[in-house]
Structure 1
């Protein structure tokens, strides 16, 4: 539901219980003015064109903007077109550290994500829009979770937070999508468009562990989740997590968790057992 702002009769103020997400593709003349702002946070991620946000602030392609509650909202199309995804939302308390972005004007915060992160932010916000219109009873929560994913990707680009090189983010995402595949340093370096030596050095410098140690941890964490949530045989879980030798998997799993896979499942595993 939308309400007219009594202080600004021509402005429409969203009334948001948890989340209101959408996509606008506006031409010349599009403008919004809310002197008192809104009670929620407003996230805008520009896909194409340029938006003008007042105070000399602009949002071009790939720019992600966050407006704090109670901040004057004076934005619109800067030139011929402004195509953007948006979300009015009330954050959970544990999201607040994710909203500490660099300020470009009072109450207006911005990030300029790298290409890969911008693509992931676009994908997550698009899912937030899609799930909001879902007929599923879980649609609102799915939309809210997609927004959290967008904010987490934004956090990877926040200079106030620990940042990762965009090329390393591509490699890390590749690892998570291909646990059963070849995750050698050569493959990951190729995914990042870096030489093997440069990739290995940059990865250890920014992530804190060598690439192969990171891959093993990811595989072991995935195996632990499968042991907790499924009743599948240990050998099948080892294969799904990218271990071709079940005995080697059991040895590394014990070193990682302090328990054999069977002990781990017995002590911390699924209630299905």
Structure 2
């Protein structure tokens, strides 16, 4: 059943276990919200088909309208709800572990704090996406015996009168892989056809992002531990530092140094998760010259100092 704000106003809502593929379609009215102060253990994919939603992850937020795919990575506090002023929010959602190749396709759409907004998807592609989500919901129900169920339409998956749609959990290996294949087609279609236009952190819709700014952003993401400065990043794309900083902030909704800090903290978190390197070495590898500063900003972002963050993951 969908979680409603009038039942659990700001309570923490647990996410599905990370090893499962869980898919559903909701049609929610104002007052609906989900709050996870600890984030989720899995990735969350949302695709809006009507109305609007407001999704917040860490310090980054975006408004999602019809045709927008918004993806929230794991491990960052998040909250999502019907957007203020919207009469409803109709959306498909999927909790799962993302395939490695998907993160490469989503990276150009990263806004910060593991929040990706792939928007807007052309109207001509949306029918095919609707079919892919319906197929995913049907495949998730397959037990492995007989033929998989027929693809479910949006009408079958839920209605406004019911206040939400059914949820399917793909338990079997075949059902899980079929569902993930449908989701992979969704990621491919949206990232291949979407244009760079997004609403983030209060910024208005943007007609596009300068290729030089995208190159600088990709350079930060590829090597966050490097000694980047506004001057070196600007020189790399043949812009003056002042012009570069202005364009970067205007088009991406955050400053170059804020983007660099976000990338370094994310890199540090991944090192803490995947390695046994001492915290001091991770700080250096992530580009922090002061262990004290690293510990302070890491705690501000993830709610615990680096050592405690790692210990919590191990537990």
Q: TM-score, normalised by structure 1?
A: 0.51
2 CA distance for matches of 1:119 and 1:16?
A: 29
Alpha-carbon deviation of 1:128?
1.1
The answer (yes or no) to whether the contact 1:57–1:105 under 8 Å persists in 2 is no
2 CA distance for matches of 1:35 and 1:10?
A: 6
| Higher relative contact order (Cα pairs below 8 Å, separated by 6+ residues) | 2
The answer (yes or no) to whether the contact 2:121–2:195 under 8 Å persists in 1 is no
2 CA distance for matches of 1:105 and 1:118?
A: 26
Map 1:72-151; keep pairs closer than 5 Å. Answer: 72-78=77-83, 79-111=86-118, 112-136=120-144, 138-151=174-187
Alpha-carbon deviation of 1:115?
1.1
Alpha-carbon deviation of 1:63?
0.9
Structure 1 counterpart of 2:63:
58
Aligned residues: 153
1:48 to 44, 47, 50: 50
Q: TM-score, normalised by structure 2?
A: 0.45
2:13 to 11, 14, 23: 11
2 CA distance for matches of 1:21 and 1:98?
A: 21
SS in 2 for 1:80: coil
Alpha-carbon deviation of 1:56?
5.0
Give 1 or 2 for the bigger CA radius of gyration.
Answer: 1
Q: Deviations over 1:179-209 (max 9, x none)?
A: xxxxxxxxxxxxxxxxxxxxxxxxxxxxxxx
Structure 2 counterpart of 1:37:
39
User: Taking structure 1 as reference, are residues 25 and 102 closer, same or farther at Cα in structure 2, changes over 3 Å only?
Assistant: same
2 CA distance for matches of 1:71 and 1:10?
A: 13
Structure 1 counterpart of 2:74:
69
Alpha-carbon deviation of 1:19?
1.6
1 CA distance for matches of 2:108 and 2:20?
A: 21
Pairwise CA RMSD of aligned residues? 2.2
The answer (yes or no) to whether the contact 1:127–1:146 under 8 Å persists in 2 is yes
2 CA distance for matches of 1:12 and 1:34?
A: 7
